[in-house]
Amino acid sequence: MQRTWNILILGMSLSALIGGCGRTVVSDVNAFKKLIFKPERGLVKEKQVGSILYKLNFMPASYLAYNSCLQSGATAPAVKDSLLAGYANSLTFLLNIGPAKGQDFDITQLGVANYGEFAEQLEQLAFKAADWIALEVNGQVYKPSLVRMENINALEKSRNFMVVFENPTVAGKDLTQFDWTFVYADELFNTGVNKFLFSKEAIQKIPEFKF
């Protein structure tokens, strides 16, 4: 009898940690990061084309809200809720473009012969990338509302781009109800059209992060 009760209590405890869509609840940021940044979870993509490596991460709204609170020192529940609601109205990706493993060059200097060409290439990366990016969802093509190069003058060999799309609700469904294809149509390095698929199953199983 006692064994039966123990099993029942354990089952109830596990159920409390699982959302209606199979979402686990996580309150530790390090545990959350380990889950969302595991390639097998489907939120991290990589593609190598020649000497260039593309890395793409989907950044959950709760993780972005947590970082905003951490940077601002905000602790009030109302502020947390406001930030979370704001980020939930958009889809955010972190795109990294850099040299492939075994390569050693600064991506901003690839193929340039002089300072003028370098300055032009850097300007294109910083201000034209939005023209080369799109999100294909359920037969529709969405353009980003924001593309920002994060480390323009950094010493790193690669560069990060924060890419944000609006998340409209159509017929009661937002974009998280569908598969996504992130498209980067490279016009600088001759790597062609690069596509990264995010399944709706992976999206809907993102753990619920409570902080």
Mean of the per-residue pLDDT values for the chain? 88
Higher local confidence (pLDDT), 12 or 62: 62
Q: Where are the domains of the chain?
A: 26-209
Average pLDDT of 69-86?
90
Confidence at residue 19, expressed as pLDDT on a 0 to 100 scale: 41
Confidence at residue 147, expressed as pLDDT on a 0 to 100 scale: 97
CA-nearest of 184, 164, 168 to 176 is 168
SS3 letters across the chain:
CHHHHHHHHHHHHHHHCECCCCCEEECCHHHHHHHHCCHHHCCEEEEEECCEEEEEEEECHHHHHHHHHHHHCCCCHHHHHHHHHHHHCEEEEEEEEEECCCCCCCHHHCCCCCHHHHHHHHHHHHHCHHHHEEEEECCEEECCCEEEECCCCCCCCCEEEEEEEECCCECCECHHHCCEEEEEECCCCCCCEEEEEECHHHHHCCCEECC
| pLDDT at residue 40 is higher than 50 | yes
With bands split at pLDDT 50, 70 and 90, how would you rate the model's confidence at 152?
confident
Higher local confidence (pLDDT), 108 or 75: 108
| pLDDT at residue 3 is higher than 60 | no
Q: What is the pLDDT of residues 18-34, one digit of tens each?
A: 344 457 899 999 999 99
Confidence at residue 174, expressed as pLDDT on a 0 to 100 scale: 86
Phi, psi of 184 (to 5 degrees): -120, 105
| pLDDT at residue 88 is higher than 80 | yes
For residue 121, what are its two tokens? 């290439």
Q: What is the pLDDT of residues 166-181, one digit of tens each?
A: 998 766 788 999 999 9
Residue type, 38: K
Confidence at residue 170, expressed as pLDDT on a 0 to 100 scale: 67
The Cα angle at residue 43 between residues 42 and 47, in degrees rounded to 5:
85
Distances (CA, A) of 133 to 78, 162, 193: 34, 11, 10
pTM listed for this prediction: 0.85
Confidence at residue 12, expressed as pLDDT on a 0 to 100 scale: 35
CA-CA distance, 71 to 193, in Å (whole number)?
36
Confidence at residue 172, expressed as pLDDT on a 0 to 100 scale: 76
Q: What is the pLDDT of residues 46-61, one digit of tens each?
A: 999 999 999 999 999 9
